[in-house]
Amino acid sequence: DLEVLQKALECRKADILKSEETGAEYFIKLIGNIQDAKKDNELIEKALIKINQRSE
């Protein structure tokens, strides 16, 4: 289901952003390697764009 996938990607993206902005231990542990997560963020954005295009 695209809605579930979209929500999961949006949550992951938000967690990456929070780990960068806050440096909170919870988000750092959740994300793991921030450099790898930043790379994931680019892929997440592309995936969200494609999901939105299919939903239209």
Q: Which of 35, 17, 19 is closest to 27 using CA atoms?
A: 19
Could you tell me where the DSSP H helices lie in 1-56?
2-22, 25-31, 34-55
Q: What is the pLDDT of residues 31-48, one digit of tens each?
A: 999 889 989 999 999 999
What's the pTM? 0.83
By the 10 Å C-beta count (0-12 exposed, 13-18 middle, 19+ buried), 28 is classed as: middle
Which pLDDT score is estimated for 12?
Answer: 96
